[in-house]
Amino acid sequence: MTALIQTIDTPDGPFTLLVDEQQRVLSSGWTADREAILARLAPAHRPDDVRDGETDAADAARAYYDGDLRAIDGVAVAQRGTGLQLQGWAALRSIAPGAPLTYTSFAAALDNPRAVRAAASICARNAPALFVPCHRVLRSDGSLGGFAWGLGVKQSLLTREGSGGGR
């Protein structure tokens, strides 16, 4: 598989996107380190050939940062995982900007309210960050919890979306 990789500047720092031939986001995050983006994918799912190029998803990310918080909603992603992971990643895409869920309510949305650790794991294993907005899930006490790209970025995204987040 051949993939395109592109890094853009954002108010939260460099943002790198890896997309497949169909312009689906495979992995993305706030770094200029291309290896870190590839490392978010299991070795068997990494592209054989990665080339620099322009991506449609980068335009959506720019629009998001310009204030169109829904610009990321229609961007196609390609994720591989268990049935529960796929269900969870789809559910993350339905969380509206400014209306974050707790890990507990996210687990309940997956019809498994006791699976709070599984819900957190789904967020942690989410490779196309921003486009599958795992940053919109918080701890039960309203604090940020974790985020692969740093709590400063998570806080910034939540503030941009009007939910503030964190304690």
Cβ atoms within 10 Å of 51's Cβ, excluding its own: 10
Arithmetic mean of pLDDT over the chain: 94
Per residue in 31-55, pLDDT tens?
Answer: 999 999 999 999 999 999 999 999 9
Taking the model in full, what pTM does it have?
0.93
CA distances from 77 to 23, 89, 114, 122 (A): 8, 10, 28, 15
How many domains in the chain? 2
Whether residue 95 is found in the same domain as residue 151: yes
99 and 60, same domain (yes or no): no
Quote the domain boundaries for residue 7: 2-65
Instruction: Based on the fold, state whether residues 113 and 155 are members of the same structural domain.
Output: yes
Asked if residue 117 is part of any domain, the answer here is yes
Catalytic positions, written as ranges: 134
How far is residue 132's CA from residue 155's CA, in Å, rounded to a whole number? 16
Same domain, 102 and 54: no
pLDDT digits (tens, 9 = 90+) for 120-163: 999 999 999 999 999 999 998 989 988 999 999 999 999 999 97
Among 12, 32, 65, the domain boundary falls at 65
Note whether 54 and 94 are same-domain residues.
no
